[in-house]
Structure 1
């Protein structure tokens, strides 16, 4: 791929703008040599304005999503994409969230421009567990764990029962819930069906990958080891 198209596809600007950047000497190799439009230089050896290029297509990001942000490119108000560099929204292929967290849910959110990776994570066949920490409005009634694990629980207006889910009770109003699917507002609807209300909700793990010390509102690139952890088999919470 020609240098101009490569950099434009990463969202740094239009092809015309990238051509101008090359003429101005803003695109160099790691040794400081100014590159030309037909230069053949490895992606990892290219600098744009003295900074390494963003990763090539196949990029995966992990964000610690704050409350109040929407997983959309069209909604009004604060969007999760506002927490990323603006050029990420201009990449080709585009960067998308891997599934969604609603506005009032915080925690682990993945982004990628790799459609195969995205579908592998969200596909029911992959059976990737997602772990949520939940604070409830009222004490548990006592039978939630058995109900959620039964594989026969039905949500209102649906015709297919939920997959078994594992409930870890931390206190009478504080639990961890492990799901193997991602239906619309599933955690909130599950507890609503038992007569309770979710006060706070945060996703803390996807597969074997955790947030670790990532600060709220921050993000980081995932390497191959991180991505492998997503699909690793881990004990249920």
Structure 2
């Protein structure tokens, strides 16, 4: 499903044949990251218009013929989009059980191959970003980036003040200590709902935190990821990121 009035992505402003660094050209072709591309250049494994180039910082045009292992590379346009993920959808490209995947929902968005940044459980809903920018995806997924994530958690029973205070101090799970960056009651009168901000990327971390305290998560919605929200985006719909949003992510 496609969100009406979707915005154009920021790459439209760049002239198609403007000179770009060779490592970026290689990374844009999907071969590897820019850092790894620098190594290929230094090792003399890249040819430009038939000539080996070993100079870091060398610039090429998209109309140039860049070769690696005897094959011409074709740079992809960078695509960045946001999906408001619905429940009962798996975060994978193909599912052996034939279940609906997030790729099914965004496959008409772009001719380029795009992939989700991180994962959301099958029945976790909310903000999920997609891109073919490997460098950005790796950066956002790396623990050192401390990317902010905020979840709206629905529990099977009221979350007591005692457990609230205990969680603020942090809890010890089977794979280590975890402490939320922020914790709140989104609806003061609804104590079975909790807002939790966390930057950990550990598997099923939010569900495991509350299970440790004796609660079952009945509904989990990610409302914020790295500055992105699902505001004005219906469940199951997607949109391209704005130029401002892409610039913000590049600065993280």
Is residue 87 of structure 2 the alignment partner of residue 84 of structure 1?
no
Q: How many residues align?
A: 179
Structure 1: tracts of 5 or more residues without a match: 3-8, 11-39, 41-54
Match of 2:177 among 158, 161, 166: 161
Stretches of structure 2 that go unaligned for 5 or more consecutive residues are 1-15, 18-28, 31-62, 64-74
Tell me how far apart the structure 2 counterparts of residues 222 and 86 of structure 1 sit (CA, whole Å): 16
**Map of 1:196-215 to 2, 5 A cutoff?**
196-215=215-234
Task: Give distance in 1, aligned partners of 2:250 and 2:193.
Answer: 27
Which structure 2 residues correspond to residues 1-237 of structure 1 after superposition, within 5 A? 56-75=76-95, 76-86=98-108, 88=110, 91=112, 94-151=113-170, 153-156=171-174, 158=175, 160-169=176-185, 170=187, 171-230=190-249
Distance 1:74 1:175, change over 3 A: same
Tell me the distance in 2 between the aligned counterparts of 1:87 and 1:178: 30
Distance 1:143 1:120, change over 3 A: farther
Distance 2:86 2:117 in 1: 16
CA distance in 2, matches of 1:181, 1:57: 30
Higher RCO structure (Cα 8 Å, ≥6 apart): 2
| CA distance in structure 2 between the partners assigned to 1:103 and 1:95 by the alignment | 19
**Normalized against structure 1, the TM-score is what?**
0.67
Matched-pair contact (CA < 8 Å) for 1:138–1:173:
yes
CA distance in 2, matches of 1:70, 1:136: 22
2:122 alignment partner, SS class: coil
